[in-house]
């Protein structure tokens, strides 16, 4: 059902043809003027202002051959995805600057043709993801639930399958060949993670189950040793429950206090209020990089800098940033950066805790058992050095290998390219949704990443989700594991389409078309 890339430029008619707007003219209804103004403001915003703290250099040597590449399956040749390797139709140009929609005078609701070009071969990318060819209720699947989880390219699926067919063994033990293969594959994945987040040392990369486990590990191990009665822990109003509850539990156990950075009405954290909260009792600042409800890109580098000046430990929850923005942990400067594999095209059940070496080395282990020990007697145990100190027991070996393959896949496309394309897609989606009468956008900070949350007058969020599902469009509805921030905006639930780099402008158009139909039928 998806037209080939080469057909797109000729099939995209002039803005007035109605091709993208089958139901209604794109002009905002008078009652939507404030929302439209917000969307316009978002599009006009300085292109790079939201990229504060984000490394735009992109992955180093993204198109260089990668270790383990031979295992990636057919079609993985690095050049395959790059613009220079594909035949571009006449007049189809790569965007010259990060935010084409920021160009003054760009017709609201109509991406200029070149804005629709992601800078990589999107149809080739889509063919890599088998599930994107599924039909749901007789319609082609439109997957707009990427903030919940992302799909897996066949390079990842095949890599895991290869592991079980040819390499499966427990790791770091035994003298046999398969143990060596499995250990090599696992440690290679660790090195890929290091490179992807620009960590200085692969020993600082700890494999865990996901973001939730990583934050719990830090709260229990680091927090257990460093937080005491009367101490304070700072988080923000934007946080996912995974970055609230472990700190709440720590605070309750230790007699410490949780302090919360408020957000403004667009959904950005208040740096001025943060500066007032921070004090001599503050022990740790744990902050989300990108909100999973509002899509706000938080100026985490500034947040970390302010804490660091006072010697306060910092953690960044990168669950929603890792797939959408380049991450350089050295540039960000935090002590911990955590993310989940499944949010970045890797399997569930695998994720990463990165920590600065001195901080990790000063931390007691969390779980005890095999793999993390050097020597055990009944009197005492000597622990393994990093990273094994924090990897007790048999880990999720195959999925760690799958995570490595997923990151190599993203590296070949280029996270900076992905980020640019997605920001154009998000800005476009925001402007389109803002033009629908009765639709309220939740979270309107310029330069949002991935997420377009809204409510629709006259409908419960579940009704909207079900109506979209009938058309093959998958969006999340509900509280999104972040109740405090939704309540801050006066709602209990929201509809949350969320985008990834395999989504297209046509898919955003389909979403908007269906929501517009619902709005027109409003009770
Ligand atoms: N933090 C944020 C911002 C998230 O969006 C999520 C998942 O949605 C999590 C943490 C928890 O991730 P996981 O369930 O993979 O541990």
Worst-scoring range by mean pLDDT, 90-94, 308-312, 463-467?
90-94
Q: Where are the alpha helices (DSSP H) in 208-350?
A: 211-217, 223-226, 245-254, 271-277, 300-309, 329-332
**pLDDT digits 0-9 by tens, 129-141:** 999 999 999 999 9
pLDDT value of residue 68: 34
Instruction: Using the structure block, give the residue that is written with the tokens 């995209």.
Output: 12
Residue nearest to atom 5 of ligand 1 (CA): 292
Decide if pLDDT at 37 tops 50: no
- Ligand 1 pocket member 211 (CB < 6 A): yes
Instruction: Using the structure block, give the residue that is written with the tokens 């969320």.
Output: 498
**pLDDT digits 0-9 by tens, 414-424:** 999 999 999 99
Establish whether 481 is a catalytic residue.
yes
Phi, psi at residue 248, to the nearest 5°? -65, -45
> In DSSP terms, which residues pair with 316 in a beta bridge?
287, 337
Nearest-atom number in ligand 1 for the CA of 481 is 8
Q: How far apart are CA 278 and CA 276, in angstroms?
A: 6
Pairing mode, if any, of strands 476-478 and 494-496? antiparallel
Mean pLDDT taken over the chain: 83
**pLDDT digits 0-9 by tens, 341-364:** 999 999 999 999 999 999 999 999
Q: How far apart are CA 451 and CA 453, in angstroms?
A: 6
Average pLDDT over residues 283-300: 98
Decide if pLDDT at 276 tops 60: yes
Beta-carbon contacts of 468 under 8 Å, excluding residues fewer than 6 positions away, are: 474, 475, 495, 511, 514, 515
pLDDT value of residue 2: 34
Pairing mode, if any, of strands 453-456 and 439-442? antiparallel
Decide if pLDDT at 27 tops 70: no
Contact 252, 263 (CB under 8 A): no
Q: Is residue 98 helix, strand or coil?
A: coil
More confident position, 64 or 321: 321
- Ligand 1 pocket member 320 (CB < 6 A): yes
Angle in degrees, 0-180, between the axes of helices 154-162 and 397-413, rounded to the nearest 10: 150
- Which residue in 256, 253, 210 sits closest to 232, CA to CA? 256
pLDDT value of residue 74: 32
Q: How far apart are CA 132 and CA 123, in angstroms?
A: 11
**pLDDT digits 0-9 by tens, 484-519:** 999 999 999 999 999 999 999 999 999 999 999 999
Decide if pLDDT at 117 tops 80: no
Cα(413) to centroid of ligand 1, in Å? 24
Annotated catalytic residue, options 202, 245, 258, 481: 481
- Ligand 1 pocket member 349 (CB < 6 A): no
Q: What is the C-alpha radius of gyration for the chain, rounded to an integer number of angstroms?
A: 23
- Ligand 1 pocket member 506 (CB < 6 A): no
Three-point CA angle 47, 51, 53, nearest 5°: 150
């Amino acid at each position: 059902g998806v037209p080939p890339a080469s057909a797109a430029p000729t099939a995209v008619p002039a803005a007035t043809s109605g091709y993208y707007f089958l139901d209604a003219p794109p002009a905002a209804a008078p009652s939507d003027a404030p929302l439209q103004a917000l969307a316009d403001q978002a599009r006009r915003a300085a292109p790079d202002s939201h990229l504060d703290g984000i490394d735009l250099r992109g992955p180093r040597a993204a198109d260089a051959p990668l270790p383990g590449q031979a295992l990636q399956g057919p079609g993985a040749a690095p050049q395959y995805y790059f613009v220079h390797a594909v035949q571009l139709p006449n007049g189809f140009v790569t965007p010259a600057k990060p935010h084409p929609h920021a160009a003054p005078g760009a017709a609201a609701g109509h991406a200029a043709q070149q804005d629709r070009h992601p800078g990589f071969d999107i149809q080739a990318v889509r063919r890599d993801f088998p599930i994107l060819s599924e039909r749901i209720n007789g319609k082609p699947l439109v997957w707009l639930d990427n903030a919940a989880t992302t799909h897996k390219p066949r390079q990842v699926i095949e890599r895991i399958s290869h592991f079980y067919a040819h390499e499966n063994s427990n790791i770091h033990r035994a003298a046999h060949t398969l143990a060596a293969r499995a250990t090599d594959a696992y440690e290679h994945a660790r090195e890929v993670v290091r490179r992807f987040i620009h960590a200085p040392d692969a020993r600082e990369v700890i494999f865990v189950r996901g973001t939730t486990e990583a934050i719990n590990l830090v709260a229990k191990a680091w927090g257990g040793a460093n937080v005491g009665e009367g101490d304070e822990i700072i988080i923000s109003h934007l946080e996912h429950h995974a970055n609230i509850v472990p700190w709440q539990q720590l605070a309750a156990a230790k007699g410490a206090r949780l302090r919360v950075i408020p957000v403004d009405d667009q959904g950005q954290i208040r740096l001025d209020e943060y500066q007032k909260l921070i004090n001599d009792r503050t022990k740790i600042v744990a902050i989300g990089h990108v909100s999973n409800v509002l899509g706000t890109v938080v100026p985490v580098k500034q947040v970390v800098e302010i804490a660091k000046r006072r010697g306060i430990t910092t953690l960044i929850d990168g669950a929603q940033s890792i797939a959408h923005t380049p991450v350089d942990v050295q540039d960000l400067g935090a002590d911990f950066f955590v993310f989940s594999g499944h949010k970045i095209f890797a399997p569930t059940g695998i994720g990463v805790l990165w920590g600065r070496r001195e901080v990790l080395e000063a931390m007691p282990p969390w779980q005890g058992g095999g793999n993390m020990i050097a020597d055990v007697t009944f009197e005492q145990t000597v622990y393994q050095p990093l990273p094994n100190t924090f990897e007790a027991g048999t880990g999720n070996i195959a999925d760690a290998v799958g995570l490595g393959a997923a990151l190599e896949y993203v590296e070949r496309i280029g996270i900076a390219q992905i980020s640019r394309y997605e920001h154009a897609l998000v800005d476009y989606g925001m402007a389109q949704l803002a033009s629908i009468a009765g639709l309220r956008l939740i979270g309107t900070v310029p330069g949002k990443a991935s997420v377009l949350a809204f409510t629709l007058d006259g409908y419960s969020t579940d009704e909207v989700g079900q109506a979209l599902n009938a058309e093959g469009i998958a969006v999340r509805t509900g509280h999104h594991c972040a109740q405090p921030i939704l309540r801050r905006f006066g709602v209990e639930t929201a509809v949350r389409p969320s985008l990834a780099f395999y989504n297209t402008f046509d898919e955003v158009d389909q979403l908007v078309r269906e929501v517009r139909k619902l709005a027109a039928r409003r009770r």
